[in-house]
Amino acid sequence: MKKKFKVITIVIISIIAVITTGVFAITRNLSYMMEIELIGVDIATLNDGSYTGTYERGRFTNTLTVHMKNQMIVGINLDNDVLLAQSEVSDDVFRKVIEAQSTDIDAISGATVTTKAYLMAIENALNK
């Protein structure tokens, strides 16, 4: 009976450890990311071409390429997406940036931190 109790206790502790580690990994960097201030991009100074940018911050790390033509953002492609990515979020962010021709857009509801990570990569690409 004691051996069975010991095994059950070890299993429960292991499950709690895995859950705790998962929650920590998923929530790490959230408060930092919420405080990020975007600096903006002056696209009028950019030449035609493709600009690659990366933003590195844990699971929000991403790399993308911004395509410019006639001093306008004409496309954005993901080269390396964030962990736990949702294509509808990136598609919506990129559509809004292209429409606004700016990184000064409203965040996607429910994906504020991921939105900021994409916007930071765009700014990093275009402000090199």
pLDDT above 70: percentage of residues in the chain: 88
> Which of the two residues, 11 and 40, has the higher pLDDT score?
40
pLDDT tens, residue by residue, 2-22: 777 787 787 788 888 777 766
User: Tokens 């895995």 — which residue?
Assistant: 18
Tell me, what CATH number does 57's domain have? 3.90.1010.20
Q: Are 65 and 121 members of one domain?
A: yes
Q: Which domain holds residue 2?
A: 1-35
Asked if residues 91 and 67 have their Cβ atoms less than 8 Å apart, the reply is no
Q: Which helix (H) or strand (E) holds 50?
A: strand 49-55
How many separate domains does the chain show? 2
pLDDT score of 67: 98
Q: Are 64 and 105 members of one domain?
A: yes
3-class SS at 101?
Answer: coil
Q: Are 43 and 86 members of one domain?
A: yes
* Token pair in block for residue 109: 């509801």
Of 11, 52, 29, give the one whose Cα is nearest residue 117: 29
Query: Measured between alpha carbons, how far is 32 from 13 in angstroms, rounded to an integer?
Result: 30
pLDDT score of 35: 76
> Which of the two residues, 12 and 98, has the higher pLDDT score?
98
Q: Are 96 and 60 members of one domain?
A: yes
pLDDT tens, residue by residue, 112-125: 899 999 999 999 99
pTM value? 0.78
